Chain A
Amino acid sequence: MTETPAILVTDLVKDYGDVRAVDGIGFTVAPGEVVGLLGGNGAGKTTTISMLLGLLLPTAGRIEVLGGDMTGGARFAVLPRMNFASPYVNLPYRLTVFQNLKVYGLLYGIKGIDARIRGLARDLDLEPFLKTPARKLSSGQKTRVTLAKALLNEPEVLLLDEPTASLDPDTGDFVRAYLETYARESGCAILLASHNMQEVERLCGRIMIMKRGRIHAEGSPADLARRFGRASLEEIFLDIARAPSEAAS
């Protein structure tokens, strides 16, 4: 029997008026797989992730997450089993870390939420800040809170948008190590959009590089290095980014 992909995207298109932000992409992410989504600004990464979350409706194409159609009624059956983290989204600033996590825990219907919050706080080194209002957190602390929020429901699919952006190297390494362990132990499928090439090389078994709404290259880091004749992912990224669109692949 074929295993249901954690994420299955087919011929996905998103138009904003005359602008095509995502142009007929298709890919799968298997359960337990960690896939990197690379691309310059405006490549279509965030638009793709937003459509996967159901926050944005596609113009055309199909998105299935854990076997459920995210553009239709199955979305509410799937949302409890997935989650999202990004340093660019805010949590209510007046609420403490604990209050924020409690509210989101209730939204996901988690029983024993207080114990779950304390467990995550211990794992993510957030215990000293549980009573701190979100507005008083440093960007590193805020990122870890956002990650704790994303892990509250022990998601089977986790979407991450530049999870370590603007973090110092130490905190960035801590977050990457945590994600590495979580992915290995939970079997969660992770789609990671990032500009950090080292992070993607470390965490991802497979990489997709987007440009102007299309996937221009896909494969393992070693596979891509061989194909492009380059030593690092950064060089491959720059090759694609600087090449005329039709020649990039």
Chain B
Amino acid sequence: MIEHVTRVAQSRFAGHRVWAIMLRHLYVMRTSWPRILEMAYWPTVQMLVWGFASQFFREHSSWVAQAGGVLIGAVLLWEVMFRANLGFSLSFLEEMWARNLGQLYLTPLRPHEHIAALTAMSLIRTTIGLTPPSLLAIALYSFNIYDLGLPLLAFFANLMIAGWCVGLFTAALVLRFGLGAESLAWVLIFGLAPISGIYYPISVLPEWVQAIAYALPPAYVFEGMRAVMFDHVFRWDLFGAALGLNALYFSAFVLFFLWMVRVAREKGLFLNMGE
């Protein structure tokens, strides 16, 4: 008998199990260039559209003229959240499409390790997807988002976590309702766009919508981005609010996901994954 298997496999959190799930997705990515192309394609198209729009608005809008890259910065940061969600959801959906989830959950893999692997894959997919457009923005529009410095890291981290929250919620629903809920992975996040203040300040929203916007982390991130770009200050209060809300929502959605794993075990959903 392989004695060490038992000891290693019993630990509550094992890096090798997280790595196993990551490796499974990295193997797929390595053999599929369309997957890699897709990651960067849409963020690049979006950046190009908003880059040209910025050039136009810079001459016709005093607001944009104050900070020429504000729209490009906004679209790149929005893509961080969008890609973080998609990176998480797609990695989960790939197990569903392969009808492999049941197999995984009869190994010693724990649900929180699965979540850790999906967040790590999301980070990798987001980095691959956003590096080309961010570099193109420098070449085409002389806008270097990396000039934001450390605040960029704060925005990035908060938007990644916000994207994971949406991904966790979607994955939990797909686990419960099957691939019929798959389209949520693509569209759910767009419902947050109007109230996230991506391209405009939250103050332009009706008062009652502002209350909803400020209950969600992205509003604080995009307000914080504008504070850096227009006023050259990093608003710690906005950063703290985004971080606090993210911690709250992420914990809640992890619990929701774990609950859905439990429901799946009760209802036998792992045995019949599919549409």
A interface, CB within 8 angstroms of B? 16, 46-47, 50, 53-57, 76-77, 79-81, 84, 89-96, 99, 102-104, 106-111, 153-154, 156
Contacts and interface: CB of A to CB of B under 8 A. Distances in A.
Given A54-B106, A80-B10, A92-B100, A107 B20 contact: yes
B100 A90 contact: yes
B265 A56 contact: yes
Given A108-B107, A109-B108, A154-B1, A56 B268 contact: yes
Nearest to A17: B267
B62 interface: no
Given A16-B268, A95-B24, A103-B24, A53 B1 contact: no
A9 B116 CA distance: 34
Interface stretch (B27-35, B64-72, B208-216): B27-35
Interface of B is mostly: helix
Interface in B251-268: 262, 265-268
A93 B17 CA distance: 20
A91 B9 contact: no
Given A53-B106, A90-B103, A107-B104, 14 more contacts: A16-B268, A55-B265, A55-B271, A80-B8, A84-B106, A90-B100, A95-B24, A95-B28, A102-B23, A103-B23, A106-B17, A107-B20, A154-B1, A154-B5
A47 B265 CA distance: 12
A46 B9 CA distance: 26
Interface residues of B, number: 40
A47 B6 CA distance: 26
B60 interface: no
Of A56, A77, A91, A96, most buried by chain B (CB within 10 Å of CB) is A56
A80 B16 CA distance: 14
Contacts of A109: 4-5, 8-9, 14, 16-17, 108
Given A76-B110, A80-B6, A106 B1 contact: no
A62 to B, nearest CB: 16
B98 interface: yes
B92 interface: no
A72 to B, nearest CB: 12
B164 interface: no
B6 A81 contact: yes
Contacts of B32: 94
A153 B10 CA distance: 13
Nearest to B266: A57
Given A110-B2, A153-B2, A79 B23 contact: no
A131 to B, nearest CB: 12
Contact of A91 (B20, B23, B100, B108): B100
A143 B64 CA distance: 62
B231 to A, nearest CB: 49
Interface in B1-51: 1-2, 4-6, 8-10, 14, 16-17, 19-21, 23-24, 27-28, 31-32
Contacts of A110: 2, 5
Interface in B233-262: 262
6 contacts: A55-B268, A92-B24, A94-B28, A106-B17, A107-B108, A156-B1
B178 interface: no
B265 A54 contact: yes
Given A77-B10, A79-B106, A90-B100, A56 B1 contact: no
B98 A93 contact: yes
